[in-house]
Structure 1
Amino acid sequence: MRGRFDNLHRIQRLDPERDHLQIHRLTLCEEFPWDMRLAFNLAFNRSFALPRVARLLVETGEILRSPRKRADDTGIIMYEILLNGVDHPRGRLALRRLNEAHRRFELDNGDSVYVLAALVVIPMRWLQRYGWRPAAAHEREAAAVFYREVGRRIGVRDIPAGYAAFAEFFDAYEREHLHHTPEAERIERATRDLLRGRIPGPLRGAADALIGALYDEPLRAAYAVPRPPLWARAGLHLALRTRARLLRLARPRRVPLFAGGVVAKTYPDGYDLETLGPGRSMR
């Protein structure tokens, strides 16, 4: 029978530079599937608060009209790259769709680095606080290598080298650039239902307070979200820490996440990578 820490021991025997894809895939698909997917949601959600990003999203309008499709398309593209690798035909196709989606706009390079940094740092910090075990050093470095490689292939420049450099950039960039704009507030209201859907049914009545508790003070200020009551902040923290302790005692996951492919609500009958992203219609 596979032990609870067998994957960790396996990860620690791998090389985070050479084997970054294998390590990051294990972290997502076997060790922390729920945590990593929620943390990816939070990372993208945070990047929407950057003033230039929020303004662009409001101008293009897609995320306001179809937040679920926008989120599903982005998630599928990123998971296809992670599951297959940047050099696999499906990974290359997903990268091409990512490039085509971004090519239509004049993106600020600093904002693009920040989005990569959010995808590296926020999941690892979430696991540090709420994972059934903290992320190992190899997992942090593998995440940094993976998103550095993705960034290089979509033309992002001056990407930090290593997890510590990503974290330093992330914190410094937020101090300078994360602040409230009306556009960011509109984006948060439009996408809030996506986070509501991750809250268990019996707690949906308290969803707005719990979502506010998922945000920290800088993000609440950027989105003009009121500070939630103490019961929501303390209750969410206690529930997540209790879950982590219980999972630490549980058996390892038998079937990896996405073992049967990526499933998204927008595409109940499956999807064609060629049709994903802005400017493409479903078929």
Structure 2
Amino acid sequence: MNINATLAASLQHQQTASRDDWEGTFRQMVLFDLAADMELGFFLAYYRNFAIPGIATTLHANAEIQQRPMKRSYDTAIVIYELISCGLDSDRGRTMVELLNRVHRNVLGSKDDFLYVLLTLLVVPIRWIQKNAWRQPTTAEIAAASHFFTELGTRMNITDTPANYTEAENFFEHYETTHVTPSAEGQLLMDSTVEVFKSRLPGPLRPLARQVLSTMLDDDRLTDALGLRRANRVSRTALKTGLAVLNAIRRRRPLKTKPHFTPGAAGSTLYPGGYSLDQIGPVNVPSSPVPSGNELP
């Protein structure tokens, strides 16, 4: 759509978007209309995997997060934003899908484990927006997001993906109810990556990084599993007030004309001059791994 549109015009477009234009609708949501909140949602989704002992054990054994927490965090975000910005079937999109399949080919896990990891990227940002963003996501946006991750799952050979967002949320909730629990590996991963979160906060808030993160997650079962102190009334009130101020400002500003993410562009201390796609991903990944039977197909 015309990115010079007003917030009201963009909202009208997102409310009436065609189901066939699911990539365009989701792209507009992530890169313009709800960009800041989608980024926070993706960031929070990243941590939830540490609360699943089986997934945490695999991630800890890989050691990539402990050794290069900043690179792992930024690269994970870059892969997702490349796919959204360029499209799943673009040249850059296909390169990112190939990377995902190569990285996960020899990773042990059940079908439900892989589906859960995929659906964190759908459910967690949508829930964050529904609770905290400057406006609610439209029905078309939720459907587009669901379609996007179903299509991504298909390209990663993840089968039996939910047919719609309601089914995805139900699967997500059931999986967490039966799997979230503390583990030494999960808490070590949390400790390794909390500095990444701290680096994204304003200076005065950095000493409170763990408490801020706990409050944003706002789930006692989850924070217990991650070894974080539970959110309290004071921290919840502070977060709610801060978000209310930010949302009031966002509602009064015009829609940004520059997308939240530009493929290959500089945007972090990790890639100050920009990046090429061959820089993204773990340092040592076999180019032709041999399947062992229980990993992602």
TM-score where L is the length of structure 1: 0.93
Work out whether residues 50 and 111 of structure 1, in 8 Å CA contact, stay in contact via their aligned partners in 2: no
Q: 1:268 to 1:280 in 2, by over 3 A?
A: farther
State how far apart, in whole Å, the 2-side matches of 1:214 and 1:13 are: 31
What 5-or-longer segments of structure 1 have no aligned partner? Answer: none
* Residues 159-178 of structure 1 mapped to structure 2, 5 A cutoff: 159-178=161-180
Question: 1:102 aligned to 2:101?
Answer: no
Identity of aligned residues (%): 32
Given candidates 174, 193, 196, the residue that maps to 2:195 is 193
Question: Does 1:239 find its partner at 2:246?
Answer: no
Q: CA deviation at 1:56?
A: 0.6
- 1:92-115 Cα offsets, whole Å, 9 max, x none, are 011001111001222321011111
Q: Which of 178, 182, 187 does residue 180 from structure 1 map onto?
A: 182
Asked if 1:223 corresponds to 2:242, the answer is no
Question: Equivalent residue for 1:47?
Answer: 49
For 1:180 and 1:118, how far apart are their aligned partners in 2?
Answer: 18
Equivalent AA in structure 2 for residue 33 of structure 1: A
Please, which of 265, 271, 274 is the counterpart of residue 267 of structure 1?
Answer: 271
Cα distance between partner residues in 2 of 1:78 and 1:207: 24
The separation in 2 between residues aligned to 1:157 and 1:2, in whole angstroms, is 38
RMSD: 1.7
- Greater CA deviation, 200-209 or 82-91? 200-209
Aligned: 1:13 with 2:16: yes
Q: Contact (CA 8 Å) 1:196, 1:211: kept in 2 or not?
A: no
Contact 1:151 1:159 in 2 (8 A): yes
CA contact (8 A) 1:30 1:256 kept: yes
Opposite residue 3 of structure 1, the aligned amino acid is T
TM-superposed CA distance for 1:257, in Å, is 1.4
CA offset digits 1:195-236 (Å, max 9, x no partner) = 212322232232222122112212111112122443222111
In the other structure, the counterpart of 1:122 is 124
List gaps (5 residues or longer) in structure 2. Answer: 286-297
Contact 2:31 2:259 in 1 (8 A): yes
- Aligned ranges for residues 201-212 of structure 1 at < 5 Å? 201-212=203-214
1:5 deviates by 1.6
**Alpha-carbon shift at residue 276 of structure 1 (Å):** 2.1
Match of 1:254 in 2: 257
Per the alignment, in what secondary structure is the counterpart of residue 7 of structure 2?
A: coil
Amino acid at match of 1:59: A
Change (3 A) 1:239 1:230: same
Aligned residues: 280
Q: In structure 2, do the counterparts of structure 1 residues 91 and 205 end up closer, same or farther at CA, with 3 Å as the change threshold? A: same
* Distance (whole Å) between structure 2 residues aligned to residue 192 and residue 92 of structure 1: 31
- TM-score, normalisation: structure 2: 0.89
Matched residue, 1:277: 281
Aligned-partner residue type, residue 278 of structure 2: E
